[in-house]
Amino acid sequence: MRSLVVDASVAIKWLNPAEDLADRAHLIREDYVYSRITLVVPAFWDYEIVNGINKAVSRRDLTSAEGREAVRLLLAVQAQRVPLPSPGESYELAQHYQRSVYDSWYVALAEQFECEFWTADRRLYNTFNDQLAFVRWLADYGV
């Protein structure tokens, strides 16, 4: 079974169908649910998604009850959560990739696990798409 790294920009779309590209994100979720893929994520992934859920509730894209249900669904995802590197290693990764520490963790995980990294963050994708073929744009999933 192949592994994928997915960032919070993808996972939040599983929980909020109003998001752009939610249909593509649901294809990844479906592949996960039917055990066609395994998910590999950094240990902070849940918190990043909960923050996105909170923002969706604040924007009134989701009700408070829907937000709580989204958090419950998130916690049921059995992704492989990889411990974070040390702060010093995190700094070096960010310097190496010239991106935020958070973005760099996702890229480093995909390199470590030799798998694709899927994102719906256009700026992140544009930064890497010419350099790293394993960084993929969500709109291309399943195409």
Give me the pLDDT at residue 5, please: 98
Instruction: Encode pLDDT of 44-61 as tens digits.
Output: 999 999 999 999 899 998
Using CA atoms, how far residue 13 sits from 62, 93, 113, in Å, is 12, 27, 24
For domain 2-140, give its CATH number from 3.40.50.1010, 3.90.1010.10, 3.10.20.30, 3.90.1150.10.
3.40.50.1010
Indicate if the pLDDT at residue 18 is higher than 80: no
CA distance 118 to 136: 5
**Of the candidates 33, 55, 35, 43, the residue with the CA atom closest to the CA atom of residue 106:** 43
CA dihedral (135, 139, 142, 143) in degrees, to 10, reads -100
**Of the candidates 108, 113, 116, the residue with the CA atom closest to the CA atom of residue 91:** 108
Instruction: Encode pLDDT of 94-123 as tens digits.
Output: 898 888 998 989 998 999 999 999 999 999
Give me the pLDDT at residue 131, please: 87
Instruction: Encode pLDDT of 23-48 as tens digits.
Output: 999 999 999 999 999 999 999 999 99
**Of the candidates 95, 135, 116, the residue with the CA atom closest to the CA atom of residue 4:** 116
Tokens coding 141: 């999933």
Give me the pLDDT at residue 143, please: 74
